[in-house]
Amino acid sequence: MSARHAAVVALNRIDPELGAFITVDPDAVLRAASDVRDGRLRGRLVAVKDLVDTVGLRTTYGTARYVDHHPERDAPVVAELRAAGAIVLGKTNLNELAFGVSGHNPHFGAMLNPHDRGTTVGGSSGGSAVAVAAGVCTLALGTDTSGSVRIPAALAGVWGLKCAHGLDLTGVYPLAPSYDSLGYLAANRAELQRVLAIDTLPDPRQLRVGVVGTDVEPPPLPDEHWTVFNAEVWAVHGTAVVEHPQGYSAEFRRRVQAAGAHVDDAAERRARQVEAAWRAEYAAAVAGFDVLVDRVVEGPAPSVQTASDEDPRVQAELRQRLLRHTPVANALGWPAVAFPTALGPRQVLGPPGSEAALLAVASDVGGRH
């Protein structure tokens, strides 16, 4: 199938009711597909989370304030995808400014699960997960600050990679910079292997694999993590929310203001020290393993009604349930891969540089999906 024909098929598969995309420029997609670059992603259609800058294509960050924003240049990650031959299919829906996991955006609607339209796929990279799960594309770019790639991947039944920290995040709107990371949603392991340019995988039988809660009990993420998280959210968004309140939803304003309500420099410094000590303790506890296997989410996908409920208590309960397992990788700065299995979604995580091992173990645990 030619790249142009594949682009036509993908564009025709977009179902607006699923809420996967905020912006698509079919003419631009077809032009790009008519002149594809050589590279490992030649002709690959890639959906891009609308938190990431794309030159010539509207980038809203999922909020009303930037509804007419057109970046002057690509984020480096997008430029690298294009240089490898990928074609940007469109900009995907997300929780407003990536601050949430409900899979509902008050400005652009819910990100519906193609397998059950009464539920969302969670967030914040929900639109990217929907695009892959619906068969529109096999690869989509996302971001992950507390689980925003892995949660939607798990709930949509696709693969999701949270990249290790240290990649260039220029042109990606921050949320909590110490924990922000890039990530990919994919139809299968091979797509993740291709985008990471990993030629071969190790034999999983040669790796030391520890199951969290069975083989190893790492120390739990300390509450101080959220002290740092909230301080950073306030530092990024506090001034804008105060000076331009009309540009944001009431829920986003409320959560940012709540994050900043107890910001204290001394408390933040202490919290960072506690979290640093926790990282050392965690590393020591899992030192006997190359890769860890853990759950991704607890319970079912949120209903559309729950995801869009404006009651702060409902949203707090949803976040508490969905964020039980994923923030650890962000606090560590480690890569992690969420993947489907017959027993439900799982994730594998390991230190930076273990991406090939993660993919090998995920394939072994989950089967070759």
Classify 147 in phi/psi space as left (phi over 0), alpha (psi -120 to 50) or beta. left
Residue 343 CB-density burial (10 A; 0-12 exposed, 13-18 middle, 19+ buried): exposed
CB-facing half-sphere around the CA of 277: CA atoms within 13 A: 9
The number of residues in the chain equals 369
The encoded tokens of residue 347 equal: 């994730």
The encoded tokens of residue 242 equal: 């105060």
Q: What is the DSSP string of 234-294?
A: HHHHHHHHHH-GGGS-HHHHHHHHHHHTT--HHHHHHHHHHHHHHHHHHHHHTTT-SEEEE
Kindly name the residue from 102, 128, 146, 148 that is annotated as catalytic. Answer: 148
The encoded tokens of residue 227 equal: 């002290």
363 is annotated as an active-site residue: no
Residue 258 CB-density burial (10 A; 0-12 exposed, 13-18 middle, 19+ buried): middle
Instruction: Determine the Cα–Cα distance for residues 324 and 308; give it in Å rounded to an integer.
Output: 21
The encoded tokens of residue 36 equal: 């594809």
Q: What is the DSSP string of 289-310?
A: -SEEEEE--SSPPPBHHHHH--
Q: Which residue bears the tokens 């101080």? A: 224
The encoded tokens of residue 47 equal: 């959906």
Kindly name the residue from 49, 102, 125, 162 that is annotated as catalytic. Answer: 49
DSSP class of residue 87?
A: E
Residue 206 CB-density burial (10 A; 0-12 exposed, 13-18 middle, 19+ buried): exposed
Kindly name the residue from 124, 125, 181, 308 that is annotated as catalytic. Answer: 124
3-state DSSP call for residue 12? helix
Instruction: Determine the Cα–Cα distance for residues 234 and 256; give it in Å rounded to an integer.
Output: 6
Q: Which residue bears the tokens 């030192």? A: 287
Give catalytic residues, as residue numbers. Answer: 49, 124, 148
